Every structure is written in structure tokens, then in C-alpha cells.
Amino acid sequence: MTEARTAEDSGVGSEESSDQLDPEEFLRRMRHSAAHVLAQVVLEMLPDAKLAIGPPIDTGFYYDFLLPRSLTPEDLETIERRMREEMAKKHTFVWEPIPEAEARQRYADQPFKLELIDEFAGSTLGICSHAGFTDLCRGGHVEHTQQIGPFKIMNVAGAYWRGDESRPQLQRVYGALFPTETELETYLQRLEEAEKRDHRRLGRDLDLFSLHEEAGPGLVFWHPRGGRVRLEIEDYWRRAHLEGGYELVYTPHFGKSGLWETSGHLDFYKESMYAPMEVDGEDFYAKPMNCPFHIMIYRNARRSYRELPLRLAELGTVYRYERSGTMHGLLRVRGFTQDDAHIFCTPEQVESEIVEVVRFSVEMLRTFGFDAFTAFLSTRPEKAVGEPATWEVAEAALRRALAEAALAYEVDEGGGAFYGPKIDLKVVDALGREWQLTTVQFDFNMGTRFGLRYVGEDGAEHSPYLVHRALLGSMERFFAVLIEHYGGAFPLWLAPVQARLIPIADRHVEHARRIAVSLQTAGLRADVDTRSERMNAKIRDAQLEKVPYMLVVGDREAAAATLAVAVRRRDGENLGVLPVADLQSRLLEEVRRRT
């Protein structure tokens, strides 16, 4: 959700006519107006409430409150009911400018509003009134409450004032609002499906990973089944990189403070780094990034243009401090493994390298089942290192790479880092949600700080271009995206258990084990359910565990002249009795094609 505070919820600006509004603007006004009705109702229920802000967001609206008690689910039901009652009364929204002194007097008992008035002192302040409720507001509302569209109060969450942990923690009440009941219902159904696919829930149910506060928040424990999926991802990643001309490297987990001073991390990134540990009287830091270590490998020898491009890749584990309130399952953690690479190349090589990185990324992501992509190009900010002409070359290379990959993209003018422009590539999952994974980042800064050089064809020394890139982002985040994309039902090549043997009775267990060994010998992941449960219960449990194939063994299969099993897929399809040799060939082909 888009939650950044903007001027419309601050109280600065002016009201505009709502006549002939385009649908997008009218929807924004409905959502903004609903936030006002929400604040009205909460203030009536809890007169001691302190009001913060209430902006429209891309799925509805929210309002932040400092309240004398925590809101309950019953409170949310009451709030929604009373909002509907108020909306039905056709209250008119009236906006008007207000002098600063009068605004301070009106909101003397509302500290958050007073802070906003201080922030926008000198600007045109405004208030919006309806049903006797008045809020400091920029404006932009529907004409009356009956024009507010279908909505639902969703939940309440904690939110620090101004996003600062040192400031008061508020209660944020969220509401969903859409132009039609159908669109609202579709959104709610999508949320319900997203909840079913939540990687934290499935990670627990499928025994893939866990997080333990007592061991350290934001540190991931990969269980055997999750570890098996990760191994398949990493094995494919390594093979693809070796075939793509990359050299695989391994680097330490921490380094001396001088390294991070040279790289600039202690100047620009220290708040995200863990406190140092003292070793032999010197400070060592856990690495937040792999790039300085790859640079050390480059600098270890005198380099010639004949060696370039040099592509160094690593599945490197890094450690970054994230505030406790920002961590979320595997999506945001404190220790994670980046699929990192750095490309050292000549200026003449840079465009073809970028084109290849984008192509490589799209190909890899498609292998994992993603077919829809969006891209963003971030360009030179006002404060930047490097010559403008160099930035132009880099940005042109990024644009041509996106064009050659036939990827539509948006430009974030001035949104690049101070040390170089970048491409961010997002995938669209099965629910239509976007996930940012790939980043391709130019760096005009770090190579200079470390004095990187190569001997050119002219015999003189030159500075190489440095390109940072991560295709999957990190193993942890990518695994979370995969879990939610597939709802835990991984394709065969990634599934932790690819086939489960289900003996109908105890007398069939040994036969089932022989078949499992045969499949395992061929390289397939098969196990045997030896529990004394009924066959249907075993099949149901295998389906709940998202096992792709269930292989039932009974008297008929055990008596067959050749090894045979009755084959069921997890989607319920019954393939009948198949010779094990034929089934094995079928599964191996499915794994090979990574379908």
C-alpha cells in the first residue's frame, strides 16, 4: 500500500470543484472523504482520541489515532456500521481556508495537528467540515457522504508517528474502498487468497523454515524441506552462471573497519550495519554487502583489457540491521544470502554486458515460472559522483538493454543513487502482485575509491566500469515470493518431495520401499508413508503437503510382473497403474523441462 504522507492529508492547499472529475481523481476523493468519516466516528466513540493523519491509499484509506485504549475487532465492526449510518445521511463536505492562528486555537488539544501546522506555517491552511466534524485538510473531497463508494474496515495496526520509533506509537485503522461492490469483492477475495498463500503460514504448515526470537530476530532457520528447495534453486543458479561466463567466488563474512571506510559504507550505511567486534585491537564489521570483497579479488592481480569483462558471482550471506517493526517473515530479515555479482568491464563492453544481464535475468525468472515483468529506470540525481557524460552513457546503455529485452519501463527521473543509475525489475505473481527482485546498478564511485585499474590496448592504465547486479535479490526473499506465487505447490523440479509411496497395508511397505529406492537411485526425491493410517488419510495428508505425485501400492501392484504403482497427482487426477520405469521416465522429463 502507498502510505507516504502527502499534502492532501496535512492541511495545506485548497478545495477544487468536483465537477467532471476523471474516475481516478473521483476515486481518490472518495477514499479521502471516507478517511474523514472514519475519524469522525472514532472521535465520537472515544472523545479523548488524538488525531494524526488520514490519507487515501491505493486500495482505500487509513487514519492514525492515539487512543486511550486498544481497538478490538468488535470496535472495528461498530466503526464500520456507524460509518455506513453517517454516509447514508448525505452530509455535505465543506472546505475553507483558515488563518494559522485560528487553526492553532481550534486544534490546541491535538498535538499532531499542531505539529503539522508548524510544518506548513506560511502555506495556505484549510479545514474540511461535515456533520459537525472538522479536520485540518488540504481538500479534495466528494460533495457529500452518499457519494462515497463501497468500503470495508479491514484491520488496525501499529504505526509510529512520522515513522519514527522514538515518537508515539499510534493505532492505524485501515479501510478498503473501490468504485463498485464487484471491485471491492474481487479485492477481498484476492486478499483471502493471499492469506492462504502467506509464506509465513505455508512455511510453518509445510515445515520449510522457522524464525526464533530467542536465537535472534530476523535470522532464518531453513528446515530440511526448505533447504532442499533452496539447494535446487542454488544448483540451477550456479550452473546458469558458469554457463554465462561468470566465475564463482566465496568471501568472508566480516572485514576490518578500514575496508568499510574505503568503500564508504561507514560514511553512508553505518546505521544499517551491526556494531563492530574487536579482534586484536581492531574493529571488524559483519558485511552488509559483498562488493568490497569482490573488489579485493579484482585488485589482487594486475589486470589487462584482455581479461575483461571479469564477472564475479557469489551466493554471499550479508547482515543488515533492520528495525524490529519492519521485519516481515522472509521478505525483510537481518541475515540473508544475496545472489550477487559484479562485472568489471571496459567502457566499450558495458552496453553489451547490461543487455546480457537483463536477458539473463528474464530467462532465469521465466524458468522459475514468472512471465510478466515491469521495469523501472532510475536516472542521475541532483547530487551525484561521476561526469555527466559518463552518466549519459550508462543511462543510454540501460535504456537500450530494456528495449532489446522488449520490456516496458517507467523512468524515475533523478531517482538513481549518487553513485550510478540502475534498473529494477519486478515480477508479477499469480495474484497479480508485483515483487521487486532484479537490480542492475552502475557504480562510478567504489572503483574510484579503491583505485581500480586495468592496462588497456594502448599500454596505459584505465579505470574499469563496475556493475553491481542481483537477479533473484536474495535467497530468503525469493523463496518467500516463490512460496506465495505457487501457494506452496512447487513445480516438480523444486518440490521437496517429488513422489510419495503410499502402501495400502503393512504387507505392502517393503514393496513400496523398493520402488522408492529405484526412484531415488534415478535422482528423484521419493519417500514412503509407513504410518498405520488408512490409504485415503495418507493421500489427503500428501495433498496437504503439496506432494506432486502419490504412488499407491496394494496387492495388485505388488503382484505385478514388473514394478508398478497406481499414480495420482496432487490436483486429484488419477493416471492409473503405470510401470515404475515409465513413471520414472515421465518424472525425469518433467524435471528436465522444469515445467
Beta strands 499-503; 549-553: pairing state: parallel
Angle, CA of 397, 399 and 402, to the nearest 5°: 110
C-alpha to C-alpha distance for 355 and 369, rounded to whole angstroms:
22
Q: Is 320 a catalytic residue?
A: yes
Of residues 9, 75, 340, 527, which has the active-site annotation?
340
Q: Is 287 a catalytic residue?
A: no
Q: Is 342 a catalytic residue?
A: yes
Of residues 468, 477, 508, 570, which has the active-site annotation?
468
Torsion, CA 476, CA 479, CA 481, CA 487, rounded to 10: -140
Tell me the torsion sign for CA atoms 486, 492, 498, 502: positive
Of residues 110, 338, 498, 584, which has the active-site annotation?
338
Q: Which residues have CB under 8 Å from 73's CB, separation 6+?
A: none
Of residues 29, 311, 342, 570, which has the active-site annotation?
342
Beta strands 247-248; 310-319: pairing state: parallel
C-alpha to C-alpha distance for 9 and 2, rounded to whole angstroms:
13
Q: Which residues have CB under 8 Å from 483's CB, separation 6+?
A: 197, 199, 202, 203, 208
Of residues 128, 291, 303, 568, which has the active-site annotation?
291
Q: Is 468 a catalytic residue?
A: yes
Q: Is 270 a catalytic residue?
A: no
Of residues 199, 294, 320, 485, which has the active-site annotation?
320
Q: Is 529 a catalytic residue?
A: no
C-alpha to C-alpha distance for 339 and 358, rounded to whole angstroms:
15
CB neighbour burial string for 399-436, b if at least 16 within 10 angstroms, e if fewer = bebbeebebebeeeeeebbebbbbbbbbbebeeeeebe
Q: Is 338 a catalytic residue?
A: yes
Residue 65's CB is within 10 A of a number of other CB atoms, namely 23
C-alpha to C-alpha distance for 496 and 335, rounded to whole angstroms:
23
C-alpha to C-alpha distance for 309 and 345, rounded to whole angstroms:
4
Q: Which residues have CB under 8 Å from 543's CB, separation 6+?
A: 550, 570, 572
Q: Where are the beta strands (DSSP E) in 458-570?
A: 461-462, 465-470, 499-503, 526-528, 549-553, 564-569
Sheet holding 310-319, edge to edge: 247-248, 310-319, 335-345, 465-470, 434-443, 422-428, 373-378, 409-412
Beta strands 526-528; 499-503: pairing state: parallel
C-alpha to C-alpha distance for 108 and 127, rounded to whole angstroms:
15
**Residue 356 amino acid letter:** E
Q: At 29, list the grid cell.
A: 476523493
469 and 343 Cβ atoms separated by less than 8 Å: yes
Closest CA to 467 of 295, 315, 263, 216: 295
Of residues 130, 265, 334, 422, which has the active-site annotation?
422
Residue 191, helix vs strand vs coil: helix
Q: Which residues have CB under 8 Å from 132's CB, separation 6+?
A: none
Residues recognised as catalytic: 291, 320, 338, 340, 342, 422, 468
